[in-house]
Amino acid sequence: MNDDSGKQRCPKAPGLRSPRQLRRVALLIAAIACLAVPRTTAWAATLQGVWLIDGKAAVQMFDCEGLLCGRIRWLQNARDPQDQAVRDKNNPEPTLRQRQLCGLTIISGMRPTDPNRWEGGSFYNPDDGKTYGVSAELKSADVLIARIYAGIPALGETKTLQRVPHGTSEGWC
């Protein structure tokens, strides 16, 4: 397309007639891009901390590559009768049976589905050496409801976890 001076002109995009309209479209695209960025880290931050399970163990929840994970940070019985650190003796993999339970990641891969809900994770239970599905819902700042299941969530077990301060009693890893 040529103008009166013979110079080549670029055709305008349909509906965009001025630099002001272009700026508006650019701002709209930027706003949409900001909304589309996953908020996993922000959501995970609300769950981060240490949570007590059945008075037997405490799990520290943390962000792991945009997902939520949990590692053992306290055990009611952190030592065996020989005063050795408790090991993962029920693990189906013989080479892993000598690893210590303290510090072991037992929850992995939970992804946020809402600001207070996570699903699709795995829970490794050192008591029986099996891995289960897990989902969690934050009921308040200090109460977390976890659903641990084999296959179907409706047939699983619900656990209520309480947030606890780290390092306040014996048995901390």
3-state secondary structure of 41: helix
Q: Report residue 94 as tokens.
A: 């013989």
Does an H or E element contain 140, and which?
Answer: strand 130-140
Segment 67-95 mean pLDDT? 95
Distance between CA atoms of residues 119 and 141, nearest Å: 19
Q: Distance of CA 95 to CAs 39, 87, 98, 99, 145, Å?
A: 37, 12, 7, 9, 33
pLDDT for 115: 86
Tens of pLDDT, residues 107-158: 999 999 998 999 999 999 999 999 999 999 999 999 999 999 999 889 999 9
Q: Report residue 132 as tokens.
A: 């289960």
* pTM of the predicted protein model: 0.72
pLDDT for 1: 53
pLDDT for 3: 54
Going by the DSSP 8-state scheme, the letter that residue 51 receives in this structure is E
Whether the pLDDT of residue 68 is over 70: the answer is yes
Whether the pLDDT of residue 2 is over 70: the answer is no
Q: Name which of 22-26, 55-59, 62-66, 82-86 the model is least confident about.
A: 22-26
The answer to whether the CB of 92 falls within 8 A of the CB of 129 is yes
3-state secondary structure of 49: strand
Tens of pLDDT, residues 5-53: 555 554 444 454 554 543 443 333 333 333 333 334 444 457 788 999 9
pLDDT for 48: 83
Q: Report residue 59 as tokens.
A: 């799990």
Distance between CA atoms of residues 144 and 138, nearest Å: 5
Distance between CA atoms of residues 18 and 6, nearest Å: 22
Residue type, 99: R
Q: How far apart are the first and last CA of the chain?
A: 73
Segment 74-89 mean pLDDT? 94
pLDDT for 32: 30
Rg (CA), the chain: 26
Distance between CA atoms of residues 165 and 9, nearest Å: 67
